[in-house]
Every structure is written in C-alpha cells, then in structure tokens.
Amino acid sequence: MRVIRTALHNMDREAREHYSVVIQAKDMAGQVGGLSGSTTVNITLTDVNDNPPRFPQKHYQLYVPESAQVGSAVGKIKATDADIGANADMKYSIINGDGSGIFSISTDKETREGIISLKKPLNYEKKKSYTLSIEGANTHLDFRFSHLGPFKDVTMLKIVVGDVDEAPLFTLPSYIMEVYENAKIGTTVGTVTALDPDSTNNLVRYSIDHNTEDRYFTINANTGTIKTAKVFDREETPWYNITVAASEIDSPGLLSHVPVEIKILDVNDNPPELARDYDVIVCENAKPSQVIQTISATDRDDITEGRSFHFALDDNFSLNPNFTLKDNEDNTASILTRRRRFSRTIQDVYYLPIVISDGGVPSLSSSATLVIRVCACERDGRVRTCHAEAFLSSAGLSTGALIAILLCVVILLAIVVLFITLKRSKKEPLVISEEDVRENVVTYDDEGGGEEDTEAFDITALRNPSAAEELKFRRDVRPEMKPATKHPTSCHLDNIDVHEFIKQRLAEADLDPSVPPYDSLQTYAYEGQRSEAGSISSLDSATTHSDQDYNYLGDWGPEFKKLAELYGEKESERTT
C-alpha cells in the first residue's frame, strides 16, 4: 500500500480544484522481465472557508419614490464569496446611517442577496435622501483560517427619494363632531382640513361621499365646513358616520378620505311616561296607608346622572278619598290606600290620575291614569277573585251552574245549525229551463207580416206532432237502461184529434223510463179550428191553393203544409 501525499504547500481550491495522478506498479522490484500496471487517480480539493465576502463596489445608489408602500421591497444588494456551499453563506445588516430607522435589510438564502425594504413612509418634501452602511458577513467560520479574516465586508448605500404628486393629507386621521337635535337646517357642525403634501401646495377641494340617497349634511368645497341638511331627532338616530374626500384642483383624480363621526346631542323634548301598563289591585280587606303598587317612569330623552322624575296626583281633580301617592325620590312612587276595606259589589274599579315630570330644562310633564281593581284576597294577600267573578258570585251562580248554562247554549247552537243544514239539504223541485220550454211554447203578439215573414215566431213550434222526437234523458241521474224507441203515431193529420193526441203523449211520458220520476211540464201549441170568416194570417193561403213553396223547411215541409191547411179549417170554424 502506498500513500499519496501533497507535494505543494497552501493548495488553493479557488485556483485549481481537480488534479489527475497516474500511478504505475511493477513486480520483480522493477527488474528486467518484470510486469507492470498503471492507473489514474483523480483528486478533488474540498473547500474551506478561507475567503471573506466582498462587495463589488464600495458605493451604491438606489432610487425610491416617496409613494412606495410600507413593507414593500425597494432594492437589492449582493456581496460575492469565492467559497462554495455553506462556506459562502452570509448575512446582511445595516450597521450605520441616517436611514436605519426607515429601511431594513434581510437575506435571501437562495440567491445570497440582501433585500432592502421600507419600514416607514417616505416624504420627499421632508427628506430627499438617506445613507445606509451595509455589512455582509459569513455565517460559518473556520478558526484554522481566522488569520485570513475578517470574513465580512462593508459598503455604503445612498437612497434617493423621488418626488411624486400625492393626494392631500388631512390634519387628523379621523374627526368627531357634535350638533344638537332639532337644530335648524344649515347649522355648522365642524370643519375638516387637508393640505397638499407636495412642494407646489395646490388648493384642495372637499366633498362628502354619499352612500345613500339621504343627504344629512353638506360641506363647503373650499373651506371644508360641514353643515346640517335636515332637522335631526336624537331619539331616532343618535350618531351619524360620513366620509369626507379631499382632492387637488389640478389633480382631481388623486383623492384622500377621512371618517367623520357626528354625535347628535340631546334636547329635552320628550315628556316622561310610565315605564309600563300597570295592573293595580287592591284587596277588599286592605288597611289604611297600605302600599298596593310601586310605579316607575321612563323618558326617551338622554337621562343624565342626577336627573330624576317627580310624581304627584293631578291637581285638576279633587282630593281622592280612597288612594294617595307618595314620591320615593328615587324615580319611583308608591300607591297607598287612604281608608279601610273596599267592596266589589259597591265599586269594583277606581281611577287614579297622576302627573309625572322630569328635571330637564325646560321641565316637561305628562298625565297618566292608573286603573285600580278591587279583588277578593286571602289573609296572606294572595288574590282569589276579581270583579268579573265577583259579579257572578253576587248573582248567586256557582261554577257548576255556569258550566250548565254554557252547555245549554252550546246544545242550542248545535240544534240551530243542524236545522239550517237539513233545510238547505232538501231537494228543490225540478225547474224546467227556459231552453226546454222554448221549443214547445211560443209567445208572440204579432199577427205576422206575410208569407215571407218567419221571424215573428219559432218555426220549430209548428213541428209535426207525429214526427219522431230526439231522445231526452234525465239531467239529474244517468238512466240505467236504454229508453224505449218511440214510434210515430198512427193517426193521420187529416183526422187528428187534439184530445187524443195529448192522451197519447201523456201515455208515452208515463212509460218512458228516461223522463224524471216526478211531474213535468208537457206543453203543445194548438191554434184551433178554421173559421168560416177566413183569417188574415198568411197561413190561410194554404186553403186557397197558394203557390207558397214549403220546401225550404226540408223534411218538415209536407207536415207544415198539412198543418197550415188544418189550421185554416179550424180558424174558419172558429170564426163561424
């Protein structure tokens, strides 16, 4: 085995990192006839931290606009190190300079750069440049090479602040103002002020951001004075929040905003009133000067510390002989009795008018009336019954009697309802509709206008009685069997008898299962026999062998012609 050793002192990895050495081995001690072999050995020098970091420049300059956001990165700086790996790791820090409170620096481990960030806002008008002394130092040190140190470097960084046209700045971050309720429209509330931070010092205009259609305040665009635009009620809304915007006249697009809170101050404009509706009860066995109720009051106005309510009986009424009132001077009052014993049978309700006033300026008051009921109580003061039950007891009605009376009333109402229901459920007699009667009965008082006049009467009324009728069924029930087929009558119109005709129709109606089971109206029109004196009707033309054409009646034409002849004969006999 052989050991490979260095032949040079102070080998420098940064100068040369890799070496190749050829090794040859011979047998027979290198004599003639011996064999040999060779190999190549690659040698790599490992790095040690023997090089400090170095900034390429001793002076740097960085431009940062004054509009840069706080916390944002505004620049980078980097030092170089000839070492590699962990030996090249370094940390940056600000060790001096007037900008150490405005800027900060951090190290990016991946790129080994120093990241400069803004800690506080810049203002070109106040300070135009800053100077920083930045140090870069190795984080891993090898004490064997400490004599080569120090392993750090320092550079100077000058930061120039750039001027930017900025929005106006308000003198306060927020404003709180006050105004009294009921103040007149146009009352001054307060003033906001904003200034142009740039060196040009441009004029500023003010406006109110209206988020709703209601405009409660106005502002002077030039002075920033805020005034009321309506009359306020503190009891309705005690606070208002608005936002005021300011912009430069030359740059209206640059806006700044400030919140303004406006408190509505109270004015004594609401009278006091009872805290609630009191149900005051006095027992029949009450004693004089006994407290039966304690009352309190409330006020919609702002009750400041030290203000109190005052209670008293209404002076507009005569002295009450039954009850009195005592002001407890702690915003409460007590109702006391003035006599012994009360009777429900004599009087079950009493009314006590009182007056409540506040201590405001000006003082306001209101009237109220307490309703006091007389009740029967136990010895320990528990209420047993009041005036409603007392009335029943005085009438001699017990609880059982009251229940019996109520039961009788319920039964009577049930009988009435049942009677009305049964009456409404009775079937009404069948009423023949006008449409059903229209084909059988024709009513008219017109003699007619001639043979061509057919509008004065319903021609279907002259239909041949012997013609087959359409099948008619009951409209209230469905027939269970087919109706019997109707056969035309065998009698001829030449010798027809009206009485016989009606009897036939009645027999058909009685035997027809499709007709209703109750009486129905069977109506037939008959003019009568012909008169010897003749008729002025156009139907008389049938007896004089008129050339009238009845074919326009279709299948009813022959029957209609025979009826006309018969009608003429009957009319002649009647007139004779």
Digit-coded pLDDT (tens) for 353-362: 999 998 888 8
Token pair in block for residue 531:
């008169």
- Phi, psi angle pair for 502, to nearest 5°: -65, -40
Distance, CA of 217 to chain centre: 28
Which of 504, 468, 506, 505 minimizes the C-alpha distance to 485? 468
Contact between 224 and 191 (Cβ < 8 Å): yes
Token pair in block for residue 270:
């609401």
Residue 512 pLDDT > 90, yes or no? Answer: no
Work out the mean pLDDT of the chain and round it to a whole number.
79
Contact between 336 and 323 (Cβ < 8 Å): yes
Across 266-270, 448-452, 457-461, which has the greatest mean pLDDT? 266-270
Hey, what CATH class is 59-162 in?
mainly beta
Instruction: State pLDDT tens for residues 231-252.
Output: 999 989 999 999 999 998 888 8
The residue type at 172: L
CA distance linking residue 261 with residue 257, whole number of Å: 13
Instruction: State pLDDT tens for residues 309-329.
Output: 999 998 888 888 999 999 998
Q: State how far the alpha carbon of 345 is from the alpha carbons of 285, 392, 397, 431, in Å.
A: 14, 11, 15, 64
Domain with CATH 2.60.40.60 in the chain: 59-162, 169-265, 273-385
Upper half-sphere CA count for residue 302 (Cβ side, 13 Å): 14
Residue 477 pLDDT > 50, yes or no? Answer: no
| pTM check: above 0.85 | no
Among the residue ranges 335-349, 412-426, 482-496, the one predicted with the least confidence is: 482-496
Which of 351, 337, 348 minimizes the C-alpha distance to 386? 348
Q: Which residues contact 344 (CB under 8 A, 6 or more apart)?
A: 284, 374, 375, 376, 386, 387, 390, 394
CATH code of the domain made up of 273-385:
2.60.40.60
pLDDT of residue 332: 93
Q: Which fold has domain 169-265?
A: Immunoglobulin-like (2.60.40)
pLDDT of residue 251: 80
pLDDT > 70: percent of the chain: 72
